[in-house]
Amino acid sequence: MPLSRRALLQLTGTAAGGLALSQLTQAPARAAKPMAAELKRDLTVCTPPGDVLEALMARNARFSQTWQRLVKEPTPAARMQLKTDIFDEGCQIDPMALEQGQQPWVALLSCADARVAPEYVFASGSGELFQVRCAGNTAFDDAIASLEYAVAVLKVPLIMVLGHSSCGAVKAARGSEPLTPLLEQLVKPIRASLQPGDDLSQAIKGNARFAAAQITQRSAVLRQAQESGQVKIVQGFFDLVTGRVELLKPLAGAS
Ligand SMILES: [Zn+2]
């Protein structure tokens, strides 16, 4: 059974006091105007019918093909044209509809790395991807809270934790260079995911699996949503050279 907003508030203990999610969804001083039916419909126009994970991977396959052509193009003009082609793959939602709300169909927990641009990687437009990003794509508290909002309020049916090749945060976690106190805090969950003998790629994949498992271990809302089938949680690995996303098996013991 899908989680209702009321259920979320009960689970998070915000119904009786504190900051309710309803305060986040609309400005309190502004009277709620009924959304025009056509604008509401337009918010869902990019939501693919059928299996959303299949649709997401198909979008990445289109990006990857274009990306592999792009890196071989010798002239700046040709490369720019290919970039435009990638952008045009994305679905376009009426900005008037976007001003009224959002109805993304996938939530991503991905790295802050400038080489990982989710709208490109999944050939998507504004309003399609709910994104949480930080170096090393770890499941930090605010990330999990954001994903709770995406699932319980926005009814996003799919979460993907996305690691990527040559991830600097995982390199830092594996290294012994001195870090600032806050960076030490950031790499702590990455270090917890490291396995002896793993090379960098294996460590990056292990970190994505670990973060995906953390999401449901630490959030009752997301665990229940997964168990009821309201949301599917997967993990992937983005290859910077090929542009391809590989789906990864979950951590042993995680569903
Ligand atoms: Zn990274």
d(CA 27, CA 181): 36
Ligand 1: distance of its center to the CA of 51 in Å? 28
Q: What is the pLDDT of residue 91?
A: 76
Ligand 1: distance of its center to the CA of 164 in Å? 6
Please name the amino acid found at residue 115.
Answer: R
Confidence grade of residue 3 (pLDDT, cut at 50, 70, 90): very low
Q: Is the pLDDT of residue 82 over 70?
A: yes
From 152, 132, 128, 151, select the one nearest 141 (Cα to Cα).
132
21 sits in the region (left: phi over 0; alpha: psi -120 to 50; else beta) called: alpha
Q: What is the pLDDT of residue 34?
A: 55
pLDDT, one tens digit per residue, over 227-243 is: 999 999 999 999 999 99
Average pLDDT over residues 190-208: 97
Q: Which residues surround ligand 1, an ion (CB under 5 A)?
A: 111, 113, 167, 169
Task: Please give the domain boundaries of the chain with CATH numbers for all domains.
Answer: 50-248 (3.40.1050.10)
Ligand 1: distance of its center to the CA of 254 in Å? 23
Ligand 1: distance of its center to the CA of 134 in Å? 8
pLDDT, one tens digit per residue, over 138-193 is: 999 999 999 999 999 999 999 999 999 999 999 999 999 999 999 999 999 999 99
Ligand 1: distance of its center to the CA of 178 in Å? 18
pLDDT, one tens digit per residue, over 20-74 is: 444 444 444 544 555 677 777 778 888 888 999 999 999 999 899 988 888 788 7
Confidence grade of residue 9 (pLDDT, cut at 50, 70, 90): very low
Percentage of the chain exceeding pLDDT 70: 84
Provide the token pair at 82. 């290919």
